Amino acid sequence: MTGHDESRVPFEYAVVRVVPRIERGERINVGVLLYCQARGFLAARIHLDEARLRALDPTVDVAGVRAALRALEAVCTCGAAPGPAGEHLRPGQRFRWLTSPRSTIVQTGPVHTGLTADPEAELDRLVDLLVR
């Protein structure tokens, strides 16, 4: 293995989705959560396209969706969210909590894995590829 290969470490990610009408099951990708244990990295990148969201449901509460997405981002930052998810859980535990199945408007897809030398750049790349 080359030095470059040795700098690559495993990471996990999940796509963040908004399902404005649960009964219809239609959704749009709005962000990515990425966790890299080796680098102690947990972050979310959100990009909400309101026009696409309103195309699925013209009556959607955009402010409520934005608030839920901000809360998800806050949980990624240790201590930034109230309660046990933000204050007492390690990054890996917070990632698992965030990616557990939910029947709410904001959901995450299945967890996928990969290798990266730069989790921050990988997160940006995934958002460009899967969301924008």
- Range of the structural domain that residue 70 is part of: 3-130
CA distance 59 to 129: 28
Contacts of 21 (CB under 8 A, 6+ apart): 56, 57
Tell me how far apart the alpha carbons of residues 20 and 18 are, in angstroms, rounded to a whole number.
Answer: 6
* Reported pTM: 0.87
pLDDT digits 0-9 by tens, 109-130: 999 999 999 999 999 999 999 9
Task: Say how far apart CA 66 and CA 44 lie, in whole Å.
Answer: 14
Give the chain's domain count.
Answer: 1
- pLDDT in tens for each of the 132 residues of the chain? 444 567 999 999 999 999 999 888 899 999 999 999 999 999 999 999 999 999 999 999 999 999 999 989 988 876 555 565 556 788 898 999 999 988 789 999 999 999 999 999 999 999 999 999
The residue type found at 15 is V
Measured at the CA of 119, the angle between CA 127 and CA 98, to 5 degrees, comes to: 65
